Amino acid sequence: MISSDVSAEEKLRIARSPFIDRVSYPVLDVMLNQLLSHRVINDAEFKATIVKNRADKARDLIDMVRKKGEEASLIMITVFSSNDPFLCNEIGLKAREILSLSKILNPKLLL
């Protein structure tokens, strides 16, 4: 389990390899759509990533979001947790340590 005092960016860095190896196509596609709707990624990033194979899509997504900082990383962890809580927990990203779902479900709170 990844320590709770580690930043969200660092959590994504630590979880990067297992995320790339294990996340499924359907989860990635839903995550891309949700991250686009929450303005974590833009249209160009979405279009460039959605067409890739599963591993490249996962790699590009986690690297792209992590480089955007703490808030973007927290949102990605929350979106991941809501779509695949089992895998999220398995690779050490605990849902209890992240943004409340109410903030994710209302993107205006993030502005």
Q: What is the mean pLDDT of the chain?
A: 86
Residue recorded with tokens 């990033």: 45
- Report residue 94's pLDDT band, with 50, 70 and 90 as the boundaries: confident
pTM listed for this prediction: 0.82
pLDDT for 65 equals 97
pLDDT tens string 20-73 = 999 999 999 999 999 999 999 999 999 999 999 999 999 999 999 999 999 999
For residues 90-103, give the mean pLDDT: 64
* CA separation, residue 12 to residues 2, 16, 31, 111 (Å): 10, 6, 15, 22
CATH 3.90.550.40 is the classification of domain 8-105: no
Enumerate the domain spans of the chain.
Answer: 8-105
C-beta of residue 35 within 8 angstroms of C-beta of residue 76: yes
